[in-house]
Amino acid sequence: MTLKRQLFIASLLMLLIPWAGLQFVLELDSALRQQASTQLQNQATRLAALIHLPSSNGVEATETQPVVYAPTVQRTLNPDGFGSDWPDYDEELGRQPWQESHQLADGSRLSWRVAVHGEDLYLLIRIKQRNRYFYDPSQPDRAFDELRLFLEQPRGMIERRIRSLGRGQVTSRIPGHESELDYRFRGYWEFTGDNGHQLELRMPRPEQGGNFGFQLVGPAAESDSATRVLFKQPSARILSRQAALEQRLSQLIAPGQNAWILEPQGWVIGRQAQPATQSAPDFESLTPFQILERISLNGLRALVRAYQPDPQPIDHHSRQFNDATMPDEGLVRHNDGDLYLLTTQSLPGGHTLVLEESLDQMLTLSGSTLGSVIARSMILLVGLMLVLLGYASWLSWRITRLQRAVSGSIDEDGRLLHTLPPAKAKDELGDLSRQFTHLTERLHGYTHYLESFSRRLSHELKTPIAVVRSSLENLAHSSSDEDRENYLARARSATDRLSQILHGMSEAARLEQSLDHAEKERFDLADVCAQTAQAYQALAPDFEITYKGPSQDVPCHGSPELLVQLLDKLVDNARDFTPEKGRIDIQLESGPRHLLLSVFNEGSELPEELARDIFSPFVSVRSSSQEGHLGQGLLIARLIAEHHGGRIQAANEAGGVRFTVSLPES
Phi, psi of 356 (to 5 degrees): -140, 155
Say what the pLDDT of residue 355 is. 93
At 627, the pLDDT band (50, 70, 90 cuts) reads very low
The per-residue pLDDT for range 306-364, each reduced to its tens digit, is: 777 788 899 888 888 887 778 888 888 888 888 889 999 999 888 899 999 887 665 44
Q: Domain boundaries in the chain?
A: 3-53+244-277+287-370, 67-240, 413-517, 518-664
Q: What is the dihedral of CA 67, 69, 70, 73, to 10 degrees?
A: 160
pLDDT digits (tens, 9 = 90+) for 545-574: 999 998 888 889 888 888 888 898 889 888
DSSP 17: H
Kindly list the strands in the beta sheet with 656-664, ordered across the sheet, starting from the edge strand earlier in the chain.
Answer: 544-548, 583-590, 594-602, 656-664, 647-653
Q: Is the pTM of this model over 0.75?
A: no
464-484 per-position pLDDT tens digit: 787 788 888 787 777 787 877
Is residue 143 pLDDT above 50, yes or no? yes
How confident is the prediction for the chain on average, in pLDDT?
80
Residue 638 above 90 pLDDT?
no
DSSP 509-578: HHHHHHHTTPPPEEEEHHHHHHHHHHHHHHH-TTSEEEEES-SS--EEEE-HHHHHHHHHHHHHHHHHHS
Q: Which pLDDT score, from 0 to 100, does residue 628 have?
A: 42
Whose CA is closest to 619, among 503, 460, 512? 460
Instruction: Tell me the C-alpha distance between 630 and 10, whole Å.
Output: 69
Q: What is the secondary structure of 626-639 as a DSSP string?
A: S-S--S-HHHHHHH
pLDDT tens column, 588-599: 998 778 899 999
According to DSSP, residue 311 is labeled P
C-alpha torsion 7→8→10→15, nearest 10: 140
Residues with Cβ within 8 Å of residue 46, at least 6 apart in sequence: none
Cα–Cα distance, 629 to 501 (Å, whole number): 9
d(CA 558, CA 523): 8
Asked if the model's pLDDT at residue 66 lies above 70, the reply is yes
One-letter amino acid for residue 595 of the chain: L
Arch. (CATH architecture) of 518-664: 2-Layer Sandwich (3.30)
CA diameter of the chain: 152
Residue 501's nearest CA partner among 640, 636, 635, 631 is 631
Tell me the helices (H) and strands (E) count for the chain, helix number first. 10, 24
Q: What is the pLDDT of residues 264-293, one digit of tens each?
A: 888 898 899 988 766 556 667 777 767 766
Predicted local confidence at residue 585, as pLDDT: 92
pLDDT in tens, 81-94: 999 999 888 888 88
Say whether 120 sits in a helix, a strand or coil: strand
Name the more confident of 638 and 487.
Answer: 638
User: Percent of the chain scored above 90 by pLDDT?
Assistant: 19
- Give the number of other CB atoms < 10 A from CB of residue 196: 18
pLDDT greater than 70 at residue 370 = no
Cα 128 to its chain centre, rounded Å, is 43
Sequence-distant (≥ 6) Cβ neighbours of residue 567 within 8 angstroms: 529, 532, 586, 597, 599
CATH topology of domain 67-240: Immunoglobulin-like (2.60.40)
Asked if the model's pLDDT at residue 583 lies above 80, the reply is yes
In the three-class reduction of DSSP (H, G, I as helix; E, B as strand; rest coil), residue 218 is classed as strand
Lowest mean pLDDT among 51-55, 75-79, 138-142: 51-55
CB 86 within 8 A of CB 115: yes
Q: What is the DSSP string of 122-161?
A: EEEEEEES-------TT-TTS---EEEEEEEETTEEEEEE
273 phi, psi to nearest 5 deg: -140, 135
**pLDDT by residue (tens digit) across 525-552?**
899 999 988 888 888 888 999 999 988 8
Whole-number pLDDT of residue 57:
47
Q: Please tell me the distance from the alpha carbon of residue 182 to that of residue 175, in angstroms, as a whole number.
A: 11
